[in-house]
């Protein structure tokens, strides 16, 4: 099995309260780990990529930090089951 190393140098979250940032980051890490461990993510086949963008993600107003982190992870991992992923740049 190939080894995948993912380093997130900077996570930019527009419109997120500073108090929620750690919760978003924790959920993002958890969900990305699960998606990549499950295999089938186009992200693993990209090779060296300098930047990924999740694009605009819409959630209900009352969605918490964990929901946002999971949505961002799903989008950047290109989870085929979610139908919202992208392999390069911002999604359509």
Q: Looking at the domain assignment, is residue 6 inside a domain?
A: no
pLDDT in tens, 8-67: 888 888 888 899 999 999 999 999 888 888 877 777 666 667 777 777 888 898 899 999
pLDDT of 22 reads 92
The domain in which residue 65 lies consists of 17-43+56-85
pTM exceeding the 0.85 threshold for the entire prediction:
no
Q: Looking at the domain assignment, is residue 4 inside a domain?
A: no
pLDDT in tens, 65-76: 999 999 999 888
* Polymer length of the chain: 92
What are the structure tokens assigned to 6, written together? 């993912």
CA distance 53 to 55: 5
pLDDT of 5 reads 75
Q: Looking at the domain assignment, is residue 90 inside a domain?
A: no
The residues near 70 (Cβ < 8 Å, ≥ 6 apart) are: 27, 28, 30, 31
Q: Looking at the domain assignment, is residue 81 inside a domain?
A: yes
Given a cut of 50, whether residue 87 has pLDDT beyond it is no
Domain total in the chain: 1
Contact between residue 32 and residue 73 where contact means Cβ atoms under 8 Å apart: yes
CB-CB neighbours of 63 under 10 Å: 13
Q: Looking at the domain assignment, is residue 11 inside a domain?
A: no
pLDDT of 69 reads 93
CB-CB neighbours of 87 under 10 Å: 15
pLDDT of 44 reads 67
CA distance 64 to 75: 17
Q: Looking at the domain assignment, is residue 30 inside a domain?
A: yes
């Amino acid at each position: 099995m190939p080894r995948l190393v993912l380093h997130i140098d900077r996570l930019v979250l527009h419109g997120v309260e500073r108090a929620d940032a750690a919760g978003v980051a924790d959920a993002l890490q958890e969900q990305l780990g699960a998606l990549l461990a499950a295999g089938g993510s186009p992200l693993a086949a990209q090779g060296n990529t300098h930047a990924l963008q999740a694009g605009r993600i819409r959630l209900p107003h009352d969605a918490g930090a964990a929901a946002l982190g999971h949505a961002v992870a799903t989008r950047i991992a290109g989870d085929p089951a979610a139908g919202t992923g992208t392999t390069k740049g911002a999604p359509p």
